[in-house]
Every structure is written in C-alpha cells, then in structure tokens.
Amino acid sequence: MRYTQTTLKKLEDIFDELDYAVRYEKGSFQSGYCIVESRRVAVVNKFFDTEARINTLLDILTRIEFDPANLSDNSREQLEKWKKTTPDPE
C-alpha cells in the first residue's frame, strides 16, 4: 500500500459512501481517534501525518459495522485490496 494523499482521499470517499463524516481535530484521544457512532462521525488526530491518518482510518473501518454491498464496486475492490496488504490489528 502506498501512503499518499490519493490513498487518503480514497479512504475518505469510502467513509462518505458509508455516510460517515471524517474530521481532523485536536483532542486527547488515547488511540488517536474517536468514533461518534450516534452521529456517524470519525474524528482523527489532526497532527497525524498522512501514513498515520491512513492507518487510523483503516483501523476504524475494521471496528465499525457496515454492509460492503453499500459501497461502490470500485470502493469495495479497493477495500479488499487494502485488507490483504494490511496486517490484522489483533
């Protein structure tokens, strides 16, 4: 996986398709992010670099429940590709 702004944008688009807003804010998050499920918002530490933002968004995607059928074909394929190259967080 390449850690570029393009990859970050694709991940943000996936969140958009899932009706989640991604916001970059400062805060005292233990894990570097916070998920407000009732509002469908993912808040990521704004001081993270591109690689950390990408890894954080991928981690969030493993923690939220969603139906992959709700994603476009392109997003679903991209997500499957990332899952194969990203180590399991557990």
pTM of the model: 0.86
Task: Tell me the CA distances in angstroms from 47 to 28, 30, 52, one per residue in order.
Answer: 11, 14, 9
Identify whether 89 is part of a domain: no
- For 17, the 3-state DSSP assignment is helix
What pLDDT was estimated at residue 56? 93
Identify whether 88 is part of a domain: no
Contact 45, 29 (CB under 8 A): yes
C-alpha of 78 from chain center? 12
Identify whether 77 is part of a domain: yes
Identify whether 70 is part of a domain: yes
Q: Per-block average pLDDT, block size 10, for the chain (90 residues)?
A: 93 95 86 84 93 94 90 93 70
Q: How many domains, the chain?
A: 1
Identify whether 33 is part of a domain: yes
What pLDDT was estimated at residue 24? 94
What pLDDT was estimated at residue 18? 94
Identify whether 57 is part of a domain: yes
Q: Which domain holds residue 24?
A: 5-83
- Which H or E run includes 33? strand 33-36
